[in-house]
Amino acid sequence: MPPDKVAEYADGLCYTDLMAGYYLGAPDEVLQAIADYSAWFFVWDDRHDRDVVHGRVKAWRQLRFRLHAALDAPAEHLHHRDPLVAGLADSAGRLFSFLPGTWGARFTRHFHAVIEAYDREFRNRLEGRVPGVDEYLALRRLTFAHWIWTDLLEPSAGCELPDPVRKHPAYRRAAVLSQEFAAWYNDLCSLPKEIAGDEVHNLGISLITHEGLTLEEAVEELRRRVEECISEFLVVEQDVLRLADRLDDGTVHGKELGAAVRTCLANMRNWFSSVYWFHHESGRYMVDSWDDRSTPPYVNNEAAGEK
């Protein structure tokens, strides 16, 4: 975005506001790092989209490999000539500083998988291939970065959760539901833009293409799935609270662990309201006010050397 478009649109996109509503209670430096990373993620998503639209296969492949490298060695890429690569290096380095290296290794592993999922999206879009519903749902969990946003609950709570807690069925299910809600609500709100842009990655588009649903039926199915996420979360939330109570066994460590689980769970709950608010306040989804419903007005092709 050139300076004039930043001044006109950046605040209205509400990228950092979304994170501020999700990771409540995080120390200021943690919240700032997460908010910056979130803003970076949206910019990366837009670059990916422009590379697809303009068929820049070589540019995307180069960016993909550079992002993998920056993730593995952030300090070595802080001054990379591509601001997107340098931005990931800066964000990753800051995020890694809050918790032990085991947390950073997990985050790194999860984000490598996200980059590769974006590459699968790139190829699907070039080929005009709409994935089936099950394939799409599995891919969406990666491109929406379910486990990244869940990982970031821990530095917000100031505690790396041990594997038995993170992998506990109730905790894991609550985390998945908060993220499925977000991904599917995003699909619902971005469906007009993505249909206009001949996109292939949207649950609604998969339902229309592979299940034979009409547009109206697909929208209704998306709404049903979103509502089910809310209902099921309210049930499993109680199981996680009971887990937190069991962890709080009277020891100092148990008390800290129980409190961290409660904080992470509360912020999973916050994800629902924050995502809902974001999609109705951010200029990213106000397609009815755009001249071209497929292209956000803040995207400037000339600034990226595109014609």
**Active site residues per annotation:** 41-42, 144, 284
Distance CA 220, CA 204 (A): 9
CA dihedral 223, 224, 225, 229 (to 10 degrees): 100
Task: Look at the chain and count its residues.
Answer: 307
Distance CA 275, CA 273 (A): 6
> String of b and e for 219-250 (b: at least 16 CB within 10 Å)?
bebbeebbeebeebbeebbeebbebbeebbee
